Amino acid sequence: MAGVLDGVRVLDLSRLLPGPFATQLLCDLGAEVIKIEDPQGGDYLRWTPPLLDDGTSVLFHALNRGKQSVALDLKSDEGRAAFLRLCAGADVVVESFRPGVLDKLGLGPALLRARFPRLVICSISGFGQSGVLRHRAGHDVNYVARAGALSLMKTPALLPVQVADLAAGAWPAAMQICAALVGRARTGDGALIDVDMTAGVTGLLAMLLARVAVGERVDGGRDLLIGKVPCYDVYATADGHLAVGALEPKFWAAFCQALARPDLLDRGFDDDDGPAGARAIIRAQLQTKTTSAWMDVFSAVDCCVEPVLLPEQVYADCAGVDVSIEHHAPLKLPTLGLGIAGHTPSSSPAPPLGRDTDRLLG
């Protein structure tokens, strides 16, 4: 089946995680994605361990399957001229430099749009293209801290998933690029897209901040979905953990029935953290059996309880594509969560640095 983005050419100037993840989504939807890389090493992710037998990082293959690579020195006149030639035949440009970097090279988003009105240009940055913090350096932990997300934890700590990079960076970028392409099909005009990852994380807090708007106070670790109530929490077992999400009365009733604790039926929203509180009672009972033993109980009951799995357990069952990498056994790499019927994510490996330069520049 042809990809829904067949015929769309994307020039990807980004590195590391947010931009490459976004363009991998576009690639898996059928777009032709051309990485524009510095001849001196290319995307930093290429050389980040663990390295495969081809000398390239498995992380790089995970985010750059099926793409092409053109090596250009954008600081040189020749490199800039070559990039502009590619822009003439492109539909989308994705970049993640600090605001102003491309402008200094004479390749700023506004200049590109003026020269190529049909281009969709997406800039991904930590603090946006025009905010007062736009020139500050940062990474995921800085953005989620500034956006107010880390303060919601009982004790602010590093998160296991890059929320700003992915949920507030890559996915909004891919969505807005697709929306801009739909708009261009109607009007003939491209677009400038400013993905501000900090603002994106703040946007993820929409319901919580709506409560702040009417004067409610939200204390770290004490909100409905972040540790306030026993019916929605994570509990230790004898050898692992269970995630309990029994918010609705019917699920909480089923959970209590599975534990043989009818006395807890009206205590799902118990705010008592003392030794007589519902949370302490549940905690003590769940620690008496292994995760597997408890799942034998809960698998027969519809009550929103799941085991906390390790990454290696997830990998064994996750959706993936078999990628054949030179000098290396075929490797199953995870797909990125797309679900259009009939689509098959790219199973080609990530390209060597500059492999497609001569062919594409001719």
Residue 328 lies in domain:
9-204+317-361
Among 220, 246, 239, which residue's Cα sits nearest to residue 305?
Answer: 246
Q: Domain total for the chain?
A: 2
Last residue of a domain, one of 307, 332, 347: 307
The partner residues of 31 in beta bridges, in order of sequence, read none
Among 125, 138, 147, 144, which residue's Cα sits nearest to residue 193?
Answer: 125
Q: Which two tokens stand for residue 245?
A: 């999400």
d(C-alpha 183, C-alpha 176), whole Å: 10
Residue 312: inside a domain, yes or no? no
- Tell whether the model's pLDDT for residue 23 goes beyond 60: yes
Considering the domain architecture, whether residues 157 and 38 belong to the same structural domain is answered as: yes
Q: What is the pLDDT of residue 330?
A: 83
165 has catalytic annotation: yes
Calculate mean pLDDT across residues 283-308.
Answer: 96
Q: How many CB atoms sit inside 10 A of residue 280's CB?
A: 15
170: domain CATH number is 3.40.50.10540
pLDDT in tens, 92-125: 999 999 999 999 999 999 999 999 999 999 999 9
Calculate mean pLDDT across residues 169-191.
Answer: 98
- Residues of the chain with pLDDT > 90, as a percent, come to 84
Considering the domain architecture, whether residues 34 and 125 belong to the same structural domain is answered as: yes
Q: How far is CA 132 from the centre of its chain?
A: 25
Q: What is the pLDDT of residue 357?
A: 97
pLDDT in tens, 227-275: 889 999 999 999 999 999 999 999 999 999 999 999 999 999 998 888 8
**What amino acid occupies position 82?**
A
Q: What is the pLDDT of residue 39?
A: 97
Residue of 54, 139, 328, 356 with catalytic role: 139
- DSSP codes joined into one string, 161-179: S-IIIIIIIIHHHHHHHHH
Burial 322-339 (b: 16+ CB within 10 A, else e): ebebeeeeebebebbeee
Burial 342-359 (b: 16+ CB within 10 A, else e): eeebbebbbbebbebbee
Considering the domain architecture, whether residues 116 and 231 belong to the same structural domain is answered as: no
Residue 296: inside a domain, yes or no? yes
286: domain CATH number is 3.30.1540.10
Q: What is the pLDDT of residue 337?
A: 87
d(C-alpha 296, C-alpha 237), whole Å: 13
pLDDT in tens, 182-227: 999 999 999 999 999 999 999 999 999 999 999 988 888 888 888 8
Q: What global pTM score does this model have?
A: 0.93
Residue 177: inside a domain, yes or no? yes
Considering the domain architecture, whether residues 128 and 253 belong to the same structural domain is answered as: no
Average pLDDT, the chain: 94
Measure Cα distances from 17 to 73, 153, 160, 286 in Å. 21, 25, 15, 38
d(C-alpha 174, C-alpha 162), whole Å: 16
Residue 217: inside a domain, yes or no? no
pLDDT in tens, 300-344: 999 999 999 999 999 988 888 899 888 787 899 999 988 888 778
- Tell whether the model's pLDDT for residue 57 goes beyond 90: yes
d(C-alpha 118, C-alpha 187), whole Å: 10
Q: What is the pLDDT of residue 217?
A: 87
Residue of 43, 91, 165, 233 with catalytic role: 165
- Residues of the chain with pLDDT > 70, as a percent, come to 99
Q: How many CB atoms sit inside 10 A of residue 205's CB?
A: 16
Q: What is the pLDDT of residue 327?
A: 73
Measure Cα distances from 344 to 1, 29, 298 in Å. 8, 8, 35
Q: What is the pLDDT of residue 2?
A: 67
Considering the domain architecture, whether residues 255 and 336 belong to the same structural domain is answered as: no
53 has catalytic annotation: no
Residue 10 DSSP class: E
Q: Which two tokens stand for residue 2?
A: 């042809």
Cα atoms found within 13 Å of the Cα of residue 271, Cβ hemisphere only: 6
Last residue of a domain, one of 265, 288, 307: 307
Q: Do residues 62 and 325 touch, judged by C-beta distance below 8 A?
A: no
Residue 135: inside a domain, yes or no? yes
Q: What is the pLDDT of residue 161?
A: 95
**What amino acid occupies position 165?**
D
**What amino acid occupies position 212?**
V
Considering the domain architecture, whether residues 125 and 254 belong to the same structural domain is answered as: no
